[in-house]
Amino acid sequence: MVVAAHIESHPGEPEQGGRVKLGLRAAATTSDAEVLVHNISTTGLLLEGDIRLALNDDFEVAFPHGETVVATVNWVSQRLRGCMFRIPVSDATLDAAMLHNAVATNQANCERGSESFGLRLHQFRLAKGLTQSQLARQLKVSEPSISHWETDKSRPKAGRMQMLAVILGVPMPELLGYDDAETLRKLVDKAKEEIARAAGANVHNVRITIDM
């Protein structure tokens, strides 16, 4: 299982060399680098990311429920760091870290899935620094159309949706929402299978065009 984590640097006195702390929880905005933890066990872990840790460096690992242990980097390969805990952690501590990460990941996915198309469009437009009027001019639509899209009163047709993605500089699946795109893909795949079965044709020869 891959666990999300973040690294914080805490500069100390020159003779102390400072301190590095790895947090096994949702990444904080003050973190120096987001990392992934692979193959975590009671005796150590494998880190992946842009990490300022060299061979034989010591750092602290903070588990979600308060326990902190010291780990040492015992091998380095590009973006990977193999690390051993100075003192093995308990199975209970390890299970708690896994459970905490699973809950946090599920919550983040649910929050993302709850975003409407209109909200995503509104956020992407603001991130691009465009007003509704400016976006409307680029798309050659009325300003009320943009307002209706952002308030989920209507949706742009397929051609406009593609233009939106280009103008806003975001991939189409991200504009639609990952959950929406995945659901649509599954529906299309199922429809293609049923059409192929009814027509006695190969499913790979079935093409579906959607006019939104």
Per-residue pLDDT band at 25 (split at 50, 70, 90): low
| Cα–Cα distance measured from residue 83 to residue 42, given in angstroms and rounded to the nearest whole number | 11
Q: How far is CA 89 from CA 44, 158, 160, in A?
A: 9, 54, 55
- Percentage of the chain modeled with pLDDT above 90: 15
DSSP label at residue 203: G
Contact 85, 69 (CB under 8 A): yes
Q: How far is CA 98 from CA 35, 134, 178, in A?
A: 15, 46, 24
Query: Which residues, other chains included, contact 77 with Cβ-Cβ below 8 Å and sequence gap of 6+?
Result: none
End-to-end CA distance of the chain: 39
| Stronger pLDDT, 139 or 29, i.e. the higher one | 139
Q: What pLDDT does residue 193 have?
A: 82
| Cα–Cα distance measured from residue 138 to residue 163, given in angstroms and rounded to the nearest whole number | 9
Q: What pLDDT does residue 114 have?
A: 54
pLDDT in tens, 79-105: 888 999 999 988 777 776 665 555 455
Q: What pLDDT does residue 77 have?
A: 87
Q: What pLDDT does residue 10 have?
A: 58
Residues present in the chain in total:
212
pLDDT in tens, 140-193: 999 889 988 988 888 888 778 888 989 999 887 788 775 555 556 666 777 778
As a whole number, the mean pLDDT across the chain is 75
Q: What pLDDT does residue 71 have?
A: 92
Contact 27, 36 (CB under 8 A): no
pLDDT in tens, 61-70: 888 767 888 9
| Cα–Cα distance measured from residue 115 to residue 176, given in angstroms and rounded to the nearest whole number | 10
Q: How far is CA 6 from CA 30, 47, 85, in A?
A: 9, 10, 17
Domains in the chain: ranges and CATH: 3-112 (2.40.10), 117-205 (1.10.260.40)
Per-residue pLDDT band at 4 (split at 50, 70, 90): low
DSSP label at residue 12: -
Per-residue pLDDT band at 72 (split at 50, 70, 90): very high
